[in-house]
C-alpha cells in the first residue's frame, strides 16, 4: 500500500507543552508520512479481508506500516506520553469531545489517589510531575471514546489528516495521523472485525491510540439512554455525561461523570484497592 498517495488532507498545527518553539507550519506531502520498511509488518496478510485496521505481526499495539519492532521500555513510555498529549491537544483544538476509558481511566484514577495522598505536603513541581494522572507504567495502549456525531465529523473532515507537532523532547517534530475506519457507519456489534472506529497513530514509532464510538442503542432491552460500543461495552449515558474535566499527562482531558462506578463495573472492586499489579 502506498500510504503517501492516500493522504488527501493535511492539517498542520504546532504543539508545545510549556515550550517556546515557534510553530512549524509545513505541508505534509507524501514524503512526510511514508512507509519506512519494505518488509510487510502490518499483519494485513493474516487478517480477514473485511478487517480495516491491522495490528503489526510483532506487537498488537503497534502499526506495522510504520515500524518493524517495538521500542524499548523507556522509549515506549516517552512515545506514549507524546501520543496522548498530542491526541488530547488536537481533539481540544478541533472541539471534538473525547474521554478516557478502560485501563487509561484506571491509570488516571490511581494517580489521582497518589496525588490526594500527597496533598498534605507541599507539592513541588517535581512531585506534581510524578503524580500528573498518568498512563500506568506497564500499559502499552491508550483507550478513549467519542460520541457518534463526533465520529461522523472526524470521518467526514479529518480522515488521514496529518498533524505535525514539535515538543522540547522532539524539536525536529513528529507527524501524527488520524485514520478513520470506513466501517464506522456500521453501528452493529456483529461487525466484530471493525470494533475500533479510528486511530491516532505516531508515524515514527507505529504506536497508536484506539478510538471507539459510544452509540445510543435504540433497541436495548434496558430501554432509553443505553449506549453500546462495537467492542461489546454497554453503559447508561448518565455514567458518561456530563463529562468531567481533568488533567492527564499534563494536558486537559475529559473523563466519564461516574468514573468510579464504571471502573468498578468493568474491573471489579479489587482494581481500585489492590496495590500489587496482578496481570
Applying CB under 6 A, which residues contact ligand NAG? 6, 155, 159-160, 180, 182, 187-189, 217, 219-221, 228, 234
- According to DSSP H, which parts of the chain are helical? 73-94, 102-118, 125-130, 148-157, 237-240, 259-267
71: helix, coil or strand?
Answer: coil
Residue pair 140/59 in contact by the 8 Å Cβ criterion: yes
The residue length of the chain stands at 279
Which of residues 171 and 182 has its CB atom nearest to ligand NAG in the complex? 182
- Count of beta carbons in the 10 Å neighbourhood of residue 126: 7
Q: How many helices and strands, by DSSP H and E, does the chain display?
A: 6, 10
Which of residues 220 and 258 has its CB atom nearest to ligand NAG in the complex? 220
- The angle that helices 259-267 and 102-118 make with each other, rounded to 10 degrees, is 120
Which of residues 100 and 229 has its CB atom nearest to ligand NAG in the complex? 229
| Distance of closest approach, residue 227 Cβ to ligand NAG, in angstroms | 8
Which of residues 6 and 261 has its CB atom nearest to ligand NAG in the complex? 6
| Distance of closest approach, residue 209 Cβ to ligand NAG, in angstroms | 17
Q: Which residue in this structure is represented by grid cell 506514549?
A: 80
| Distance of closest approach, residue 24 Cβ to ligand NAG, in angstroms | 25
| Distance of closest approach, residue 65 Cβ to ligand NAG, in angstroms | 12
State how far the alpha carbon of 190 is from the alpha carbons of 197, 229, 233, in Å: 14, 11, 13
Which of residues 103 and 155 has its CB atom nearest to ligand NAG in the complex? 155
Between CA 64 and CA 72, with CA 70 as vertex, the angle to 5 degrees is 160
| Distance of closest approach, residue 175 Cβ to ligand NAG, in angstroms | 16
| Distance of closest approach, residue 206 Cβ to ligand NAG, in angstroms | 17
Which of residues 6 and 19 has its CB atom nearest to ligand NAG in the complex? 6
Amino acid at each position: 500500500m502506498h500510504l503517501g498517495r492516500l493522504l488527501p488532507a493535511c492539517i498542520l498545527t504546532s504543539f508545545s507543552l510549556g515550550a517556546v518553539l515557534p510553530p512549524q507550519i509545513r505541508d505534509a506531502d507524501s514524503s512526510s508520512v511514508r512507509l519506512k520498511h519494505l518488509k510487510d509488518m502490518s499483519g494485513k496478510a493474516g487478517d480477514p479481508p473485511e478487517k480495516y485496521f491491522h495490528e503489526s505481526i510483532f506487537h498488537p499495539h503497534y502499526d506495522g506500516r510504520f515500524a518493524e519492532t517495538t521500542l524499548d521500555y523507556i522509549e515506549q513510555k516517552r512515545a506514549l506520553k507524546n501520543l496522548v498529549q498530542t491526541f488530547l491537544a488536537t481533539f481540544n483544538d478541533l472541539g471534538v469531545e473525547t474521554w478516557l476509558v478502560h485501563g487509561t481511566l484506571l491509570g488516571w484514577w490511581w494517580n489521582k489517589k497518589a496525588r490526594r495522598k500527597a496533598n498534605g505536603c507541599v507539592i513541588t513541581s517535581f512531585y506534581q510531575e510524578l503524580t500528573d494522572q498518568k498512563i500506568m507504567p506497564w500499559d502499552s495502549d491508550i483507550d478513549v471514546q467519542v460520541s457518534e456525531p463526533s465520529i461522523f465529523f472526524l470521518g467526514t473532515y479529518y480522515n488521514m489528516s496529518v498533524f505535525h507537532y514539535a515538543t522540547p523532547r522532539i524539536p525536529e517534530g513528529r507527524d501524527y495521523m488520524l485514520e478513520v475506519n470506513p466501517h464506522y457507519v456500521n453501528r452493529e456489534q456483529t461487525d466484530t472485525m471493525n470494533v475500533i472506529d479510528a486511530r491516532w497513530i505516531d508515524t515514527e514509532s507505529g504506536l497508536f491510540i484506539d478510538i471507539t464510538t459510544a452509540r445510543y442503542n435504540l433497541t436495548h432491552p434496558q430501554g432509553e439512554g443505553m449506549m453500546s460500543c462495537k467492542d461489546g461495552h454497554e453503559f447508561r449515558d448518565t455514567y458518561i455525561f456530563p463529562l468531567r474535566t481533568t488533567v492527564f499527562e499534563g494536558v486537559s482531558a475529559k473523563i466519564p461523570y461516574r468514573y468510579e462506578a464504571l471502573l468498578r463495573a468493568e474491573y471489579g472492586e479489587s482494581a481500585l484497592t489492590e496495590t500489587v499489579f496482578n496481570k
